[in-house]
């Protein structure tokens, strides 16, 4: 599950700026040990990328990250769940500390959520996979 859902994302979701049903999303990996705050301002991929260290392009990773494949937004009772297919980078050699989900459809690439791996995770000539939680990337109740 996401460790942090950005405050501005909550506003954008409520006012319709972002549409979890139709917008496109990406997941970028960062090696920096410092995490952005829930109050990150401006709440954009560009601002986070400028202030934190993204995994270097090459060795299986492309700056900007990978597309979030088949994102879904499902209501069940009083709970809504945002989920997607697990995200993987093949032929990879890099170290990542956390992942940032952002909306590429939004004019300024609005940030959505952050996944903290808890420690740096490395891969050498293999596949780096983010296996999303069985209960989804995040839920709202």
What residues make up the domain containing 41? 4-140
**Positive or negative torsion for Cα 79, 82, 84, 86:** negative
Instruction: Say if pTM beats, i.e. exceeds, 0.75.
Output: yes
Nearest to 45 by CA among 107, 2, 116: 107
Q: Are 137 and 84 in contact (CB under 8 A)?
A: yes
The structural domain count of the chain equals 1
* Model confidence pLDDT, tens digit, residues 11-66: 999 999 998 889 999 999 999 889 999 999 999 999 999 999 999 999 999 999 99
């Amino acid at each position: 599950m996401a460790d942090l859902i950005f405050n501005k994302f909550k506003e954008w979701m409520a006012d319709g700026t972002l549409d979890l049903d139709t917008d496109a999303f990406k997941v970028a990996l960062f090696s920096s040990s410092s995490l952005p705050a829930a109050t990150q301002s401006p709440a954009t991929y560009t601002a986070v990328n400028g202030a934190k260290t993204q995994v270097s392009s090459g060795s299986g990773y492309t700056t900007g990250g990978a597309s979030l494949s088949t994102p879904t937004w499902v209501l069940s009772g009083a709970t809504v769940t945002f989920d997607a297919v697990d995200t993987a980078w093949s032929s990879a050699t890099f170290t990542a500390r956390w992942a940032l989900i952002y909306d590429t459809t939004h004019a300024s690439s609005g940030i959505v959520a952050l996944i903290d791996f808890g420690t740096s995770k490395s891969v050498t000539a293999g596949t780096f996979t983010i296996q999303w939680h069985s209960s989804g990337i995040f839920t709202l109740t």
